[in-house]
Structures are given as structure tokens and as C-alpha cells.
Structure 1
Amino acid sequence: MALNPVLKKRLPLIIGGVVAVALVVGGVVWWQGKQRWESTENAFVQADTTAVSPQIDGYVVEVLVADNQRVEAGQVMVRLDDADAKANLAQAEANLAAVQAGVQNVDARAVQEQAVIASRAAAVTQAQAQADLAREQVDRYGKLAEQGWVSQQRIQTERAGARTAQASVAEAQAALVAEQRAAGVLGSTRSQSVASVEQALAAVEQARVALERTVIRAPVSGVVGARGVRVGQYVRPGGQILSIVPLGDSYVVANFKETQVDRLRIGQTVEIKADAFPGEHLIGRIDSFAPATGSEFALIPVENDTGNFTKITQRIPVRIRLDRTAGAALRPGLSVEVKVDLKSEGGLTFAQAATGQVQTASTGR
């Protein structure tokens, strides 16, 4: 059927009007969306993965976890051969028993030495009493000799006895001093023995820790990944044998352009879409802003002080905290698309957060 000539003449105007209306409506929708949402596809799921390494060397005798198995903190994952560790512990304990016996021996000698010192002190007292008696005898016989009742020979005998008694006092005192010095030597010997006991205790504790380290436990809860340990393998300290990924604690790092972060605030709601979960919209919130752009943390930093400098828009990593459902679903390494709801409630802006961090650091000093 042929079109009406009038309608045919106005058809381009009608089509143009419809296109214009569509453009206006599309522009309004785009503008409203631009005012409410800030989005980026440069975002990835991350988690604080823990690399597990042995603290001692040895042969693996048992592996108790499998790939992708969930483990709880403290769960035994790997056992190393503990024969050498047990032998070292037994040797350390035997050495501890020996030095403790040495301390007991010194204590017994100290008790005996105190008894000897008491005996020597009694000997000094006895010798002093004999010397006093001999001196009194000399005085008494001296007076009798002046009256002619005692011969000169008897006086000489009494004086010799007094000198002998005084010499006995000196001898007893010297023996007492010698025993007291011996007791002092025993005191220093005991201090040395006690120090040896402390050293032996430390060796026992070290051997016990080495024995405990033959059992490798999970430091955190999560899922086992990158398991490279096998039975019979010889492992060394610091060598990674497996990793533990805490899936429930995953988070998203979204790299926004520096021209986008001025309207972002900590705490704003974030919608997350992942290709691994089509049709599902996961929810998170802005947790923090990175202290520098991603290029600053690169292994090879960008050199901007060159003659052929070209300005390139940099990106700021923004950490997004996931809710419990999203954190359990997303796996580290997945790429996601994030949209920040700019009309949702938020706290500090990017600039305010940086200023607050500086103030906190200066206050801490």
C-alpha cells in the first residue's frame, strides 16, 4: 500500500523527532546514572593468604591435608620425622638432671661446711679460754714468785704454756677463717651451678620447641591451596610448602581513576558483579583508600622526570569490605565490576582520610 504523500513527506521529520526524544531520554538517564554511580571494571578479589613454611628442616613422614581442603586454626597438617628431635630432647633433659644434681651436691657441701665452721668457731672459743686460763696462771705464779713461794723455773713453765695457748688461739682462728673462705667459694660455685641449670633449662626448652615444630599446624582457618609438600620430601626452614586462603575474609581492591575518587567516601555502598556469578549482585562497602597510586608500589617505578613525559591518568586502589555472603562466595583473583552508590551514606572523603591519617601519625609521635 502506497504511503500518503503528506505522510511520506513528514516521515523523516517524525523519525528525526523520535531519535531526538530517544537521545534526550538516554542522555537524561546517563546523566542521572553518572550523578549517582561511580564504577570501574579494574577490580579484583583479594585475601590475606598465609604461606605456610616449616621452621626446622627434616623429612616429611605424613601429610594430613589435601588440596582445597578446609582447615581450622591449630589443625595438624604435616608431620616431620621427629627421631632426631626426640634424641636431642632426651640429651638436654639428661644434661639438666646432671647440673641439677651438681647444685644439690654444692648445697650438701654448704650444709657440711656450716657444721665445720661451727666446730671451728667452738675450737676458737675453747682455745681462747685455755689462753685466758694460762695467762691467769702466769699472773698468779708471778705474784707467788715475788714472795719467794715459787721457783723461777715454774714461772718459765707457766709462761711457755701461756704462749702455747695463745698460739693455739691463732691456729684455731686461722682454721675458722679458712673454712669461712671455703664457704664463700662454695657460694660462688653454687651461683655458677645455678647458671648452668638455667642454661640447661633453656636447652631443654629449645629442644622441646624443636620437637613441637616437627608438627606443622594451620596458623589460621581457611582453605588449603598450592600444596607442594609430599611424603618423603626434605623440607627446609623458610621454604613454602602450602598456602591457606581465608575465603570468608576476602575483600575487593578496585582501582579507580584519580578523577573519580573525589566523590568517594568511606562507608558508601558498593554493588559488585562477577562473571563467575552472573545475575547476582553482591554488596560491599568502601573500607579505605590506598596511601599511594598503584604505580608507586610497582617493582619498577615509573620515571616521570624525563624529557618525553606524557601525562597518564593514575589509579588509586580502594579497598572494599564485603558482606558475609559476598565474602564467602568470591574467590581471590577473580575480576569483578564495582559500582559505588554516591547517594549512600558515607564518612571521610579521599582527601579527608589522607589528612586524618597524617594527623593520627603526628599525634602518635
Structure 2
Amino acid sequence: MIKNIRYSAVIALVAVVVGGGVWHLNKHASDDANQATDDAYVDADLTVISPRVSGVVEQVFVSDYTPVKAGEPLVNIDERDLAIAHKEAQADMMTAKAAVTTLDAQLARQASLIKQAEATLQLDKAKLSLAQTNQKRFKNLARDGAGTVLAKQQADADLKTQQAIQARDEAMLASAKQEVGILMAQLQQAKAKFESAQAKLNGAILQQSYAKLTAPISGLVAQVKARKGGHVNVGQPLLTIVPIDKVYIEAQYLETQLANVEEGQPVTVKVDALPGVTLRGTVAHLAPASLVSYSPIAPHNATGNFTKITQRLPVRIHLTPGQEALSKLRVGMSVRPVIHTDQ
């Protein structure tokens, strides 16, 4: 009797296993044109708002679950320290700019000095030519006895004086031209300092702008952690914006269901939270790998022992805009999408 009961239990267990396997296969393979899954949910690309500067929260403009539009203010951080840094950078830039202006003026003045030295040198050459002529004339007169020795000596002295003056003015002209090179080098250095000061000023202005956090996208605000008077650090999450108008479906399909699934195919979606509502959408993307493939611990070991398990791959479904029920969707809601592979 007991033996018969055991046999009956084994037969019943085998029947359950076989029946379950047949049901599982029928569930996913009997209707290849309509591929469904219960492993799916509403998702969205959430935006976490974090400050790029540290400081004390001066004002919070939003609260949890309130709508916000792109560009609207979210949080203000006390910017007085940043304003001081801004003014210091502005003063440094003005100082550097003044140095550039001064050197430009010195270069212009140096050009005038060079022209003046060149004119003086031309005059020196004329005077030297006259002195050379007089010296030659008085030398000849003295040799012929028509002129005095004193006149000859005076002509010789005038010639040497003019030669010395010309040599001096030539040196001054050369020095003035060399000064241009020095001023040009100083100008390049001053311009580099000016550009550096300007970059620091731009950086200070940018840092100050970070004190005012605005919404980068439209959506509903959630997880507001910013509090007036509280201190925040760079990168600290202050709140999250959920783009409700851009939600999508993230569905996990068995690999055996994806043979005929392609991007662009129509999808009907039923939402657990909205009985009687059917939403329309399309297949947007098929994931390049299963979720387990991204695991830090490889699912395939090197011992050769491998257990075959049917994998699931993510399929992203975009919902057709304009459907009234879309406004009721919330991230995380469970859904049941059906991909119609025959359409």
C-alpha cells in the first residue's frame, strides 16, 4: 500500500514538472506573434541635482513632489565669498590690463625716440661732412701759407668733435632700438598675465554662477534634502528631478522570446495600477547584453562546469505621446507589455 502511494507521488510530481514545462513553453512559444513579460516597469532618466560649490544654503524654492520647469530656480547658495573672489579677480585683471596699456604707450614713445635719434644722426652726418670739408680746406691753406696754423687746429678739433657726437648719437639710436626688443618681451609677458587674469576672472564668474542652481529639465521634484541654513558640499545630492513626461518601459524578456523582436514593432502595455487601461508604444532598443553580463563577478567560471540558464535581456519601449493615461504613470510601476512581432 505504502509502495503504491510512493509510486503515485512520484508520478504526480513528474506530471507537475512536465506540465509546468509544457505550460512555460506554451506561454512563451505557442504565440510567437505576441511576446509578453511580467518582468517590466516604468522607468525614466532621473536627474540628480548636486552643487558645484560648497557653502550655506540661502534659499530653497521647491519641495517634494512639486512640478518644475527647465530653467526655474531650485536652490540658492550664499555667494558672498564667491563675490569677493570675483572682485579680486576683476581687480587683478584690471591691473594686468593697465600694465599692457602702459607698455603699449612705452613702445609708441620708443618709436618716437627712435625717429628723433635718426633725425639727430642725420644732422650729425651733415655737420661731420661740413667739418671734414673745413678741415681739408684749412689744411691746404696752412700748407700753402695762406692760412694760419690756429685755423687748421680749430678745424681739426671741430672734425673730431663732430665724429664723437655722431658716434654718441649712433650708440643712442642702437640703444633705442634694443629697448624696443626689451619692451616687446615685457609686453608679451604682460599680455600673458592679462590672459591669465582674464581666465581667472571668468572662472570666478563661473563659480559665482554655480551658487544659483536651476532646473536643467522639466519634471517632478523628489528627495529634496537641501535645507535653508544647512551646509552643502560639492557633489552632495540635494534633490532629484523625475521627467514624468518622458517615461518609458524597461522590460526584461527571455532570450527565447526575442527571435522575431525588432525595433519599431508595436507594443501594448497594461499597467497594474491602472485597471482597464491599455497604452500603446513601440520597441525602441534591444540591449546589447544581458544584465548578468555587466556583473562584476563573471557568471562563467573557468572550471568547465556550466549550467545553462535562459537569460533575460532588457528591451526598452517608448510610449506613444498624447495618451491621456500617460500623466498617471510613475517611475517604478509594474506593467505587462506585449510586443506584436507580426505587425
For residue 276 of structure 1, report the CA deviation from its aligned partner.
Answer: 0.8
Gaps of 5+ in 2: 1-25
For residue 307 of structure 1, report the CA deviation from its aligned partner.
Answer: 4.9
For residue 88 of structure 1, report the CA deviation from its aligned partner.
Answer: 0.7
- Answer whether contact 2:270 2:279 (CA < 8 A) is retained: yes
SS at match of 1:91: helix
- CA–CA distance in structure 2, aligned partners of residues 196 and 229 of structure 1: 40
Query: Could you report, residue by residue, the CA deviation over 1:121-158 in whole angstroms, capped at 9, with x for unpaired residues?
Result: 22212221111111001111222223221234432331
Q: Provide runs of 4+ in structure 1 moved above 6 Å.
A: 29-33
Query: Could you report, residue by residue, the CA deviation over 1:220-242 in whole angstroms, capped at 9, with x for unpaired residues?
Result: 11111121111122111111111
Amino acid aligned to 2:337: V
- CA–CA distance in structure 1, aligned partners of residues 203 and 193 of structure 2: 15
Could you say which residue in structure 1 is the equivalent of 2:37?
40
Amino acid aligned to 1:47: A
Match of residue 235, structure 2, among 234, 238, 255: 238
Q: Is 2:298 the counterpart of 1:330?
A: no
SS at match of 1:149: coil
Could you say which residue in structure 2 is the equivalent of 1:86?
83
Query: Aligned runs of 1:3-14 on 2, under 5 Å?
Result: none
Could you say which residue in structure 1 is the equivalent of 2:341?
342
SS at match of 2:176: helix
- CA–CA distance in structure 1, aligned partners of residues 200 and 27 of structure 2: 72
Distance 1:302 1:264, change over 3 A: same
Q: Is 2:87 the counterpart of 1:96?
A: no
- CA–CA distance in structure 2, aligned partners of residues 177 and 197 of structure 1: 30
Percent identity over the alignment? 33
Moved more, 55-64 or 149-158: 149-158
SS at match of 1:162: helix
Query: Aligned runs of 1:262-277 on 2, under 5 Å?
Result: 262-277=259-274
Could you say which residue in structure 2 is the equivalent of 1:288?
285
Q: Is 2:219 the counterpart of 1:222?
A: yes
Gaps of 5+ in 1: 1-28, 345-365
- CA–CA distance in structure 1, aligned partners of residues 80 and 29 of structure 2: 72
- CA–CA distance in structure 1, aligned partners of residues 171 and 28 of structure 2: 109
Could you say which residue in structure 2 is the equivalent of 1:167?
164
- CA–CA distance in structure 1, aligned partners of residues 121 and 92 of structure 2: 43
- CA–CA distance in structure 2, aligned partners of residues 35 and 245 of structure 1: 35
Distance 1:301 1:44, change over 3 A: farther
Could you say which residue in structure 2 is the equivalent of 1:57?
54
Amino acid aligned to 1:338: P
SS at match of 1:143: helix
User: Aligned residues, how many?
Assistant: 316
- CA–CA distance in structure 2, aligned partners of residues 170 and 65 of structure 1: 82
SS at match of 1:259: helix
Could you say which residue in structure 1 is the equivalent of 2:74?
77
How large is the Cα RMSD of the aligned pairs?
2.1
- With structure 2 as the length reference, what TM-score do the two structures score? 0.86
- CA–CA distance in structure 2, aligned partners of residues 218 and 123 of structure 1: 71
Distance 1:31 1:121, change over 3 A: closer
- Answer whether contact 1:141 1:150 (CA < 8 A) is retained: yes
- Answer whether contact 2:254 2:313 (CA < 8 A) is retained: yes
Amino acid aligned to 1:329: K
Match of residue 118, structure 1, among 102, 115, 120: 115
- CA–CA distance in structure 2, aligned partners of residues 148 and 265 of structure 1: 123
For residue 35 of structure 1, report the CA deviation from its aligned partner.
Answer: 4.4
- Answer whether contact 2:28 2:257 (CA < 8 A) is retained: no
- Answer whether contact 1:249 1:327 (CA < 8 A) is retained: no
Amino acid aligned to 1:332: V
Query: Could you report, residue by residue, the CA deviation over 1:238-288 in whole angstroms, capped at 9, with x for unpaired residues?
Result: 111111111111111111111111021222211111111111111111111
Amino acid aligned to 1:275: D
For residue 212 of structure 1, report the CA deviation from its aligned partner.
Answer: 0.6
Could you say which residue in structure 2 is the equivalent of 1:156?
153
SS at match of 1:263: coil
Query: Could you report, residue by residue, the CA deviation over 1:19-53 in whole angstroms, capped at 9, with x for unpaired residues?
Result: xxxxxxxxxx9999724321110112111111111
- Answer whether contact 1:222 1:245 (CA < 8 A) is retained: yes
For residue 305 of structure 1, report the CA deviation from its aligned partner.
Answer: 3.7
Could you say which residue in structure 2 is the equivalent of 1:211?
208
Distance 1:115 1:308, change over 3 A: closer
For residue 299 of structure 1, report the CA deviation from its aligned partner.
Answer: 4.2
Amino acid aligned to 1:163: K
- With structure 1 as the length reference, what TM-score do the two structures score? 0.81
